[in-house]
Amino acid sequence: MDAYLAAIVSVMLIYVLLALGLTLQYGLTGLINFGMVGFFAIGAYTSALLALHGVPVVLSVAAAAVVAGISAWPIGLASLRLRDDYFAIVTLGFAEIVRLTLTSEKWLTNGVQGLSRIPPIYEGTGTAAAFVIVAILLAVTVAAIFLIHRVAHSPFGRIIAAIRDNEEAVQAIGKDPARFKIQVLVVGSALAGIAGALYAHYVTYIVPEQFVALATFYVWMAVIMGGVGRVSGAVVGTAILMFFLEGSRFLGDFLPWISSVQMASIRIGVVGLALVLFTIYRPQGLMGDFTKR
Q: How do the pLDDT tens digits run along the chain, 293 residues long? A: 678 889 999 999 999 999 999 999 999 999 999 999 999 999 999 999 999 999 999 999 999 999 999 999 988 887 666 777 788 899 999 999 999 999 999 999 999 999 999 999 988 777 888 999 999 999 999 999 999 999 999 999 999 999 988 888 888 888 888 889 999 999 999 999 999 999 999 999 999 999 999 899 999 989 988 988 889 999 999 998 888 777 666 666 666 667 666 777 777 777 778 778 877 887 778 877 654 54
Q: Per-residue pLDDT tens for 154-169?
A: 999 999 999 988 888 8
Alpha-carbon distances, residue 176 vs 165, 173, 179, 183 (angstroms):
15, 9, 6, 12
CA 88 to chain centre: 16
pLDDT computed for residue 12 by the predictor: 95
Closest CA to 239 of 11, 33, 25: 11
pLDDT at 289: 62
pLDDT digits (tens, 9 = 90+) for 24-77: 999 999 999 999 999 999 999 999 999 999 999 999 999 999 999 999 998 888
The DSSP call for residue 293 is -
**From CA 159, how far away is CA 172, in angstroms rounded?**
13
d(CA 112, CA 98): 13
Residue 115 CB-density burial (10 A; 0-12 exposed, 13-18 middle, 19+ buried): buried
Task: State residue 68's pLDDT score.
Answer: 97
* pLDDT given for residue 73 in this prediction: 92
**CA 52 from centre of chain:** 24
